[in-house]
Amino acid sequence: MGLKPHPPTHEWTHHSAQDTDNTPMPAGDIALPLASTAMIFSLPHPFPTLRRWTAFSTLAWMTLLAGCDAATALGKAQPGAGAVALAVWQRWVDSGGDVAAATTWERKVQPGVRADDVEHILLQVAAERNMKDVGQLPLSKELEARTGQPQKLLMVYSFCNPTTARAMVDVSPHMAAYLPCRITLVERDDGLWLYTLNMDMMLKLGRTLPPGLRAEAQAVRDTLHLMLERASKGEI
């Protein structure tokens, strides 16, 4: 099924209460751990254990270099943040440095399940779980209209719970960049695939949420996950 489903980017700057000048961390401080990870990328697959341990040690080294800032951030994170961060980092390593692969979930649509079936199930689950359908973007059809040539299917489905979205943006305005929730249906050479953002990052790597909002965010996460599972299997 491809990569295992599951980093937010981070600028290497110090910005504690006593140091707010955003002075970049010296390149030499991170050059060695990054170089070691890059070296492991070139190793053949008979060394998967070495690849995993290098990914873990590099992440630990970078966290240590970040010092008090990292400790402060972890103190504000949800329980399980470390495990999610490590899983995202591991996917980044396994994908050869593809941040999109590291931060998303994917499911291969089973043979016999048509694109129309996928769309029907996505909308059905959204209605069942009180997620509003807020639009569809038929990119492949737009490209066909522009070029006059057949295109592989590329369809974006957007969903949102407005109340939860507003509350999440109030906690962190940067959450607005993730709105609305999207699931994309992609036709590849080996069939249809579904992709969406790794919602565990929102829950685990974000700031601690009030109990009520955490429950709402968990419901959104679970809905997106259920959409992937049911649509990929054709479970109407």
Which of 84, 102, 120 is the C-terminal boundary of a domain? 102
Which of 69, 86, 102 is the C-terminal boundary of a domain? 102
Q: Say yes or no: 113 and 198 in one domain.
A: yes
Tokens 């790794």 correspond to 198
Task: Mention every residue, 6+ apart, whose C-beta is less than 8 A from residue 132.
Answer: 126, 159, 160, 161, 162
Q: Residue 69: its pLDDT value, please?
A: 63
Q: Compute the C-alpha angle 32/92/3, nearest 5°.
A: 150
In a domain, 135, yes or no: yes
Q: Say yes or no: 81 and 160 in one domain.
A: no
Tally of structural domains, the chain: 2
Q: Say yes or no: 87 and 198 in one domain.
A: no
Query: Which stretches within 67-198 are classed as H helix?
Result: 68-76, 81-94, 99-102, 115-128, 139-147, 162-171
In a domain, 41, yes or no: yes
Say how far apart CA 83 and CA 21 lie, in whole Å: 31
* pLDDT tier, 46 (very low <50, low <70, confident <90, very high otherwise): low
Say how far apart CA 88 and CA 10 lie, in whole Å: 13
Q: Which two tokens stand for residue 60?
A: 């630990």
Amino acid letter, 1? M
Which of 77, 102, 127 is the C-terminal boundary of a domain? 102
- Is residue 63 scored above 90 in pLDDT? no
Mean pLDDT of the chain: 80
Q: Residue 55: its pLDDT value, please?
A: 53
* DSSP symbol at 13: B
Task: Mention every residue, 6+ apart, whose C-beta is less than 8 A from residue 54.
Answer: 36, 37, 40, 93
* pLDDT tier, 207 (very low <50, low <70, confident <90, very high otherwise): confident
Q: Say yes or no: 133 and 202 in one domain.
A: yes
3-class secondary structure, 108: strand
* DSSP symbol at 135: E
Q: Residue 67: its pLDDT value, please?
A: 57
- Is residue 128 scored above 90 in pLDDT? yes
Q: Say yes or no: 160 and 218 in one domain.
A: yes
Question: Within the chain, how many helices (H) and strands (E) appear?
Answer: 10, 5
Q: Say yes or no: 38 and 75 in one domain.
A: yes
Q: Which two tokens stand for residue 190?
A: 């080996």
In a domain, 212, yes or no: yes
Q: Say yes or no: 74 and 113 in one domain.
A: no
- Is residue 210 scored above 60 in pLDDT? yes
Q: Say yes or no: 124 and 80 in one domain.
A: no
Q: What is the mean pLDDT of residues 98-121?
A: 96
Q: Residue 208: its pLDDT value, please?
A: 83
Q: Residue 112: its pLDDT value, please?
A: 96
Q: Say yes or no: 98 and 123 in one domain.
A: no
* pLDDT tier, 29 (very low <50, low <70, confident <90, very high otherwise): very low
Alpha carbon 191 to its chain centroid, in Å, reads 22
Q: Which residue has the higher pLDDT, 158 or 5?
A: 158
Q: Say yes or no: 132 and 193 in one domain.
A: yes
Q: What is the mean pLDDT of residues 14-32?
A: 42
Least confident range of 32-41, 101-110, 181-190: 32-41
- Is residue 56 scored above 80 in pLDDT? no
Q: Say yes or no: 36 and 121 in one domain.
A: no
In a domain, 150, yes or no: yes
In a domain, 6, yes or no: no
Q: What is the mean pLDDT of residues 157-175?
A: 95
Tell me which residue range forms the domain holding 93.
27-102
* pLDDT tier, 70 (very low <50, low <70, confident <90, very high otherwise): low
- Is residue 34 scored above 50 in pLDDT? no
- Is residue 220 scored above 90 in pLDDT? yes
